[in-house]
Amino acid sequence: MNGANPIRMALWCAGLIALFSGLALMKGGLFADRYEGDMLHLVEIILRVADGQIPHVDFMTPIGVLAVWPIALFVEQGYGVGIAVHLGQLLVALVIAPLTVWVACSRFSGVLAMGYVLLVMVFALALVHGEAIPNISMSMHYNRWAWALAFVMLPVGLLPPLRQSATLDALALGLPMAALVLIKVTYVVALAPGLIVMLAARREYRALLGGIAVTLVALALFTAVMGFDYWAAYVGDILATSRSEIRAHPGQKLDQVLTGPLFLGGHLLALIAIVMLRRAGLHVLGLGLMAFLPGFIFITYQNFGNDPQWMLIAGLAILMSIGSLRPDPDARWDRRTILAMVSVGMLAASAPSFFNLAYSPMRHYSEDTTAFTTVFPRSDQHDDFFTDTRRVFQVNMQIAGEDAVTDFRRFADLAERPPVTMVNGEVLEECSLHNGLIAWFDTAARQLEDIGLGDDAHVLVADLLSALWMYSDHLSSLRGGAPWRYGGAPGIEDASHVLVPLCAINSKTRAAIMTSIDEAGYPLTEVARTELFILLKKGAPAVQTAANSR
């Protein structure tokens, strides 16, 4: 069997990039209508990196630097974050396009090769993280990019080559693997063992050793630029996240991902495929699917939305492999038919999420812009980032009803509320902010300006997000802070003030931060109070009693 035509695949890939990127850029900005909190988290990282800060060294995040560099590069050149997002995605697609075309031509043929290229480009250029909810959001974009890179590597291990080039195979293995180290280590831990097993089973040692060498050389060059301290800080952030009491897992629990109704069918299909592949004589592919399955499930568990995207590439690989099988008239069940049904079942199970991803650039282009409001109302550079007007101005606050209603107070001990937040002995009422984040940050920033907080102030926000500084020219990012807080009170050493929201995005986080500050021995003196927050000035560390926790 011959591989796909390289010229046709290159033209197909270029056409997809032009279509998806063209639709995104012609809109003139980014119009998102979901998960603005996650996007504020992303934008803060982008702006920090564009300002010359180094992730893990200057601020805390478990996300690798390559998840934002392609976007921050354009922000640094003066583009607004809305257009920079589209240009960053275009850059990613252009970088991985040559290897995508090579893998399509060396592992696939015909319509399957076209489907494979479409798969990779959709994950690189989509404008939603996945799931089947038809919204637009750049939240968790790094999971999409990581899958796109994984889809470049996986066919090199899963399928025998139709065109020979150990050098190109090594590049298709090593460069994406190095990039994954610098985006999300979860994919490396989950996929590297399976790739090693597959390549060794196929005796493709040159590609395997070459891929390892390319990965090491790429990471060595990165280390030469960034230094060894980067890696120590990166590992520290990952370990801190793994121990987080706030977000131990971003979606469903592991047992639910293993046996839940949304996933069980796909897992059973994978097990059937493993058995039938081995019975059909495709022992290596059966072994590979078995070796990859635990890693696939682990990635699904670690990603928000818990989309089993691995079934897309597994289904394509099985369809490609059964073309080499001959019908067995003596068999009770035709193995080709069974494997074809299994692969189609895998693709069908992943179809809702995939179509949501694939259609998102068209959906974004057709959005009615009159229903959107700018995310940064006072920024000239970043006035090309918009979100749903209702989500900006509908400020939904949820209180503890068992505290507010007398007859409900008898239920207080049974309600299992988060630990209360105490500020200098004062108990703050339970209240959480469920919508209107942008209105809250913009208003809070203006209130700080009215209070007269100086330009030299560095404010730690005792909450899940720390996006406050992006809403005022008189505030700056907190060195050592965390765009998304996972543990402790990151940045307290360099903070001059602590701002405690009276209605927090995550009240458990608010309480934990105040407890951490108290345990560190920093005295806090109230200097201002509004309807939104309490502003405290931080003093020098001192031994004090636990005034902020009980």
Instruction: Return per-residue pLDDT of the chain as tens, 550 residues.
Output: 688 999 999 999 999 999 999 999 999 999 999 899 999 999 999 999 999 999 999 999 999 999 999 999 999 999 999 999 999 999 999 999 999 999 999 999 999 999 999 999 999 999 999 999 899 999 999 999 999 999 999 999 999 999 999 999 999 999 999 999 999 999 999 999 999 999 999 999 999 999 999 999 999 999 999 999 999 999 999 999 888 877 666 778 888 899 888 899 999 999 999 999 988 888 899 999 999 999 999 999 999 889 999 999 999 999 999 877 776 666 667 788 899 999 999 999 999 999 999 999 999 999 999 999 999 999 999 999 999 999 999 999 999 888 888 888 888 888 888 888 999 999 999 999 999 999 999 999 999 999 998 788 899 999 999 999 999 999 999 999 999 999 899 999 999 999 999 999 999 999 999 999 999 999 999 999 999 999 999 998 865 444 455 5
In a domain, 18, yes or no: yes
Instruction: Give the angle subtended at the CA of 97 by the CAs of 366 and 142, to the nearest 5°.
Output: 65
CA-based Rg of the chain, rounded to a whole angstrom? 25
Q: Are 77 and 88 in contact (CB under 8 A)?
A: no
Instruction: Indicate the helix (H) or strand (E) that contains 385.
Output: strand 385-388
Read off the amino acid at residue 226. M
In a domain, 543, yes or no: no
Residues 406 and 350 in one domain: no
Res 402: pLDDT: 86
Q: Is 395 exposed, middle or buried (0-12, 13-18, 19+ CB in 10 A)?
A: middle
Read off the amino acid at residue 34. R
In a domain, 79, yes or no: yes
Q: How many CB atoms lie within 10 A of CB 368?
A: 7
In a domain, 94, yes or no: yes
Residues 355 and 400 in one domain: no
Res 248: pLDDT: 60
Residues 249 and 303 in one domain: yes
Token representation of residue 458: 């560095």
Q: Is 95 exposed, middle or buried (0-12, 13-18, 19+ CB in 10 A)?
A: middle
Q: Are 135 and 33 in contact (CB under 8 A)?
A: yes
In a domain, 36, yes or no: yes
In a domain, 388, yes or no: no
The residue segments making up the domain with residue 420 are 394-538
Res 242: pLDDT: 86
Residues 352 and 405 in one domain: no
Instruction: Give the angle subtended at the CA of 49 by the CAs of 44 and 52, to the nearest 5°.
Output: 130
Q: How many CB atoms lie within 10 A of CB 18?
A: 11
Q: Are 453 and 497 in contact (CB under 8 A)?
A: yes
Residues 111 and 217 in one domain: yes
Residues 466 and 347 in one domain: no
Residues 130 and 227 in one domain: yes
Q: How many helices (H) and strands (E) does the chain have?
A: 19, 11
Token representation of residue 413: 């001990």
The single residue listed with the structure tokens 């590439």 is 313
Residues 257 and 114 in one domain: yes
The number of distinct structural domains making up the chain is 2
Residues 355 and 255 in one domain: yes
Res 409: pLDDT: 84
Q: Are 240 and 487 in contact (CB under 8 A)?
A: yes
Give the Cα separation of 448 and 205 in Å (integer). Answer: 62
Residues 453 and 508 in one domain: yes
Give the Cα separation of 474 and 478 in Å (integer). Answer: 13
Give the Cα separation of 404 and 467 in Å (integer). Answer: 30
Give the Cα separation of 512 and 240 in Å (integer). Answer: 14
